[in-house]
Amino acid sequence: MASSKKLTSDEVNALIDGLGDQAETLSVGSAGEHVEVRAFSFGSDDLSLLGDYYALRMINERFCRFARSVFLPMLRIQPRISSFPPEVKTFEEYSSDAESFMSLTTSRMEELRGSSLLVMPPNFISLLTNAYYGGTAVRPLRKPTGEFTATEQRVIEIVTEGLMSSMQMAWRDLTPVSFSVQSHEENMQFASFVDNSETVIVCTFLVQLPGNEPAAFDVVYPLQTLKPIASLLRSRVQSEFVDDDMSWRQKLERAILNIPLVVTAELAKPKVSMRNLLTLQSGDTFPIQLSDGIKVLVEGKDIFIAELGQLGPQAALHLRERVKTNKDSN
């Protein structure tokens, strides 16, 4: 029975070294035609796997815009977030370059039958925790010790929920994808994401903070997860949803329309002398004279004329007309 054991990293490296000395051209074919063969180095021609990643770069740029609103309530400033071009490497190579103590959150992408990994450094988590609870975003509150506190874990949950929601909106222009958190780890060795030999796509995002060094976090996708939509990732034509990506004017209009206003119904406004007011006692009748309509005031200004009525068991106002002002008459 043939062995199904996979090649180790040392064996793969030995094969690569052996192929590096080969000639760049070969003469093949019975007719003697000359075929040009381009030299290929494993692991260096990253863009050949999924094209030029144009759609994925666009997704990352949209994600940067959406992610600003996630960090704004914590940092009390809107940071500048930028994305690096996606990189392709094995998970073993990525793990060897990363620190042993990190925030590792695995999310399920059900539509693609795969998963993603959100990687955030502990210094960034400490800085967010310090700023979220009233501190400044100048430097981390403490150095990483190998375990997150309960407060830091709660901040990780808030940030992860916001970033996954932002990533879902960023992906929606290309294809509907939902992200559901599956597990959280603090050591790269215990992250049950993919095998070390599998290829992953690493998307790195840089968060620039005033008065502090930039902080970076990664979103990692397995190559096998994105292969079914490789044609979409190579596409340069995408739909646009502008309802969520609102401009500042739309956001300002929405905020203004949500301002609560005090509405007052003025039934009558009688005048009484101080002598009569001092002689009034419990049980006395205070006569008033009703006008043709009831004034409806918004923040103390006359807006409508209404009639008093009843709607079910409650008293109600029927708006009859709008009060005209000098500005309206002009």
For residue 61, give the CATH number of its domain.
3.40.1550.10
CA distance 189 to 199: 17
| Tally of domains within the chain | 2
CATH (domain of 322): 2.30.330.10
Residues 105 and 148 in one domain: yes
Tens digits of pLDDT across the chain (330 residues) = 444 456 667 777 777 776 655 544 444 445 555 666 666 555 444 444 555 678 888 899 999 999 988 888 888 777 889 999 999 989 988 988 888 889 999 999 999 989 999 999 998 898 888 888 877 766 654 555 678 889 999 999 999 999 999 999 999 888 889 999 998 988 887 777 888 888 999 999 999 887 778 889 999 999 989 888 888 887 765 554 444 455 667 778 888 888 898 988 888 888 888 888 888 888 887 777 777 788 888 888 888 888 888 888 888 888 888 888 766 555
Full residue range of the structural domain in which residue 323 is found: 260-272+290-329
CA distance 274 to 277: 5
Residues 170 and 308 in one domain: no
Residues 56 and 137 in one domain: yes
pTM over 0.85: no
Residues 103 and 186 in one domain: yes
Is the distance from CB of 296 to CB of 308 less than 8 angstroms?
no
Residues 217 and 264 in one domain: no
Tell me, what's the pLDDT at 13? 74
Is the distance from CB of 92 to CB of 220 less than 8 angstroms?
no
Residues 217 and 267 in one domain: no
Tell me, what's the pLDDT at 175? 87
CA distance 231 to 213: 38
Residues 306 and 177 in one domain: no
Task: Report the 10 Å Cβ neighbour count for 249.
Answer: 8
Tell me, what's the pLDDT at 3? 42
Domain contains 39: no
CA nearest to 191, candidates 182, 201, 199: 182
Residues 95 and 197 in one domain: yes
CA nearest to 219, candidates 125, 126, 120, 129: 120
Residues 244 and 204 in one domain: yes
CA nearest to 314, candidates 279, 276, 265, 268: 265
Residues 73 and 177 in one domain: yes
Task: Report the 10 Å Cβ neighbour count for 262.
Answer: 8
Residues 211 and 315 in one domain: no
Q: How many residues does the chain have?
A: 330
The sign of the CA dihedral 234, 238, 243, 249 is: positive
Tell me, what's the pLDDT at 162? 93
Residues 73 and 212 in one domain: yes
Give the CA-trace dihedral at 248, 251, 257, 259, to 10 degrees: -100
Domain contains 123: yes
Tell me, what's the pLDDT at 134? 79
Angle subtended at Cα 134 by Cα 129 and Cα 138, rounded to the nearest 5 degrees: 65
* Start-to-end CA span in the chain (Å): 96
Tell me, what's the pLDDT at 246? 56
CA distance 148 to 24: 52
Please give the structure tokens belonging to residue 144.
């990483």
CA distance 106 to 191: 8
CA distance 203 to 84: 7
Is the distance from CB of 193 to CB of 117 less than 8 angstroms?
yes
Is the distance from CB of 187 to CB of 101 less than 8 angstroms?
yes
Domain contains 310: yes
Domain contains 34: no
Helix (H, G, I), strand (E, B) or coil at 112: helix
Tell me, what's the pLDDT at 242? 44
